[in-house]
Structure 1
Amino acid sequence: MARAGQVCGHCLLHPPAWAGAMALGDYRFPNDQFILRMKFGAEPALGRWFGDLLGARWAEAGMPLPDRIVPVPLSRERLLERGFNPAWEMARRIAAALHRPAQAHALQRVRHGTAQSSLPLDARSRNIRGAYACSARFDGQTLLLVDDVMTSGATLHEATRVLLRQGAAAVWIAVALRTPRDF
């Protein structure tokens, strides 16, 4: 596990596709309860709250200003089930805080699959492979990809891969919480 501004041992051995990442904290009690309430208790206001906190933290830390902010999309089925996309709730508030544009539909989830949270870590990359598409071009742009939780990093890796293929110069990550490796 890395502290602020450090690179964890896993990332040193297996560098991710993204340029860097920021999380507000670890996915453990009591923080995890906010995520569970947001996602499964239909409380989109918690997503906006996380977005406000991430936007402020991003600016305070002097992180690079992105050209665009992009949320990790939900499949149509999951969006209908939840009624909102937590990542979009966060992304639009980050965009407001940083005075940058956000694109709700730049990245699309084209394949519905088993929920990542229900799978063992080693199955998540296979499950998410090919699940995203993007028709927009981001030639030379720096993007900020937003999601609620980073566990294995498989979802963010796949989405980053797609955005880089569409010409992004760099993709940075902002998540509310991350699951520590010792979890």
Structure 2
Amino acid sequence: MQLEFPFTGSVIPDQYGDHIPTAEKLHGLNQVSLPFKVTEIPANAVVLAGTLVDYDTVSFVGFPWLHWVFTDVPVHGQTVTFATDASRRATFAQGLNSLHSPFQRLRQPDWPLLKERKNLESHYAGPRPVSGVHTYRLTVYALSQPTNLSNGFLQGDLMALLDERLLAVAGRNLTYAKA
């Protein structure tokens, strides 16, 4: 299984990260998910699942920052294309990202009061490193059967179901820098 991107190299283009006009952000976040294609999917795969994780945050917040988690993306053939902004247009299940964490509530005490909070916590949250260049690991899993998880699931729920369903894994490190 392979991951392909419509951009050159491993740098996430600005339109999927923090370097967009403020007016295009929702509470300072870019929700326009990056496009990619999964190819060479095993013939017996039924669905795809995946995560986008920033492990460089461990030294700053104490844990890897989960930007996106999704599951049960239907597979028809050996290629699945994730279009630009697939997260907000999704018909597949998406789990909670790290905006649903005690750390976020410490950073923004009014976070639980935001009416858009649940939307922000359960979709793609674009990269916005505090400093320097961060590496974001996109991992996609081909599964033999659906997970049947509902929107708002936890990453741990997905991980617990992988072993009995996993057919193949593809991953790619992507980078994004603070302006």
Do the structures match in fold with TM over 0.5? no
Larger Rg: 2
Which structure: greater helix fraction?
1
How high is the TM-score relative to the length of structure 2? 0.32
How high is the TM-score relative to the length of structure 1? 0.31
